[in-house]
Amino acid sequence: MKTIGFIGCGNMGRAMVEGIMKANLVDGDHMIVSNAHPERLSELSEIYDCYISDNESVAKNSDIVVLAIKPYLYKEVITSIKDIVKDDVIIINIAAGISTQDVVEMFGRKVKTVKAMPNTPAMVQEAMSALSFSDNCDQDDKEDVIAIFESFGQCREVEERLMDAVMVVSGSSPAYIFMVLEAMADGAVMQGLPRNDAYAFAAQAMIGSAKMMLETGKHPGELKDMVCSPAGTTIEAVAKMEEMGLRSAIIEGMRACANRGKEMSKK
């Protein structure tokens, strides 16, 4: 069993650790986690019986190290661990705007590295992650890393140049999906439904619709048309949402997200 280490365990790191532990991919002896404020992880270590330690110990003892820290901390943290990681370590970089080339330069050698873009539904084993492997990762390395990402959802290999596109549609998208869910619940509350019921109906409609699209393979426009009876209620909602710019609000929001990713990668 390989040892997986996490440096940084905030929103994304914790979702991944919880996903891996819930799936029993490794036992607590093979999961080491560090954080700026380790006391915030005491509940995590109690639930999953994993080690909470410092960055140095994660670096020395892990076969695979996930850097789940903010992008601006990569240089500082890599400088402090580059000489103590295992020779054959695999570094998983999940940061927006940090490329494989950046990681290799920060390490000062051609370390095995994976550029990955997960999302927070990892916490409930429903992440969708993109992976791009450096060319020195062999088949076994790839299988080990894919097993990690499949333990908390699905993953796909993509070219690294497409990672910003994945970030806008997957890494960042839970935020806008929750905004839509909140707005849908508000709309139902306005019509008299209790809030808890409204969240349950809205969330299940989101899950069901997404599953329907994936399982039928039908175009989303066709599935939308199936709900819109002539002169009915749904087409009124669709027409009003078009008038209010729902689609362009989403597309422009995603463009802003991608632009920010590009800005971050220039620094």
Ligand X SMILES: NC(=O)c1ccc[n+]([C@@H]2O[C@H](COP(=O)([O-])OP(=O)(O)OC[C@H]3O[C@@H](n4cnc5c(N)ncnc54)[C@H](OP(=O)(O)O)[C@@H]3O)[C@@H](O)[C@H]2O)c1
Residue 73 C-beta: closest distance to ligand X, Å:
5
Site string for ligand X, 88-107 (x = CB under 6 A): ------xxx-----------
**How far apart are the C-alpha atoms of 266 and 233, rounded to whole Å?**
48
Closest approach of ligand X to the CB of residue 266, in Å:
15
66/8 Cα distance (integer angstroms)? 8
Say whether 7 counts as a known binding-site residue.
Answer: yes
- Of 16, 49, 53, 35, which Cα lies nearest the Cα of 147? 16
Q: Report if residue 62 touches ligand X, rule: CB under 6 A.
A: no
Report the C-alpha gap between 155 and 146 in whole angstroms: 7
Rounded to whole angstroms, the Cα distance separating 205 from 199 reads: 10
- Extract the tokens encoding 85: 């990681």
At closest approach, how far in Å is the CB of 246 from ligand X? 23
69 marked as part of a ligand binding site = yes
Side chain identity at residue 141, one-letter code = D
Binding-site member from 19, 121, 153, 171 for ligand X (CB under 6 A): 171
| Complex with ligand X: residue 20 or 69, whichever CB lies closer | 69
Per-residue interface string for the shown chain with ligand X, residues 9-48, x marking contact by CB under 6 A: xxxxx--------------------xxxx--x--------
77 binds ligand X (CB under 6 A): yes
Per CB under 6 A, 121 contacts ligand X:
no
Secondary structure class of 136 (helix, strand, coil):
coil
Three-state SS for 58? helix
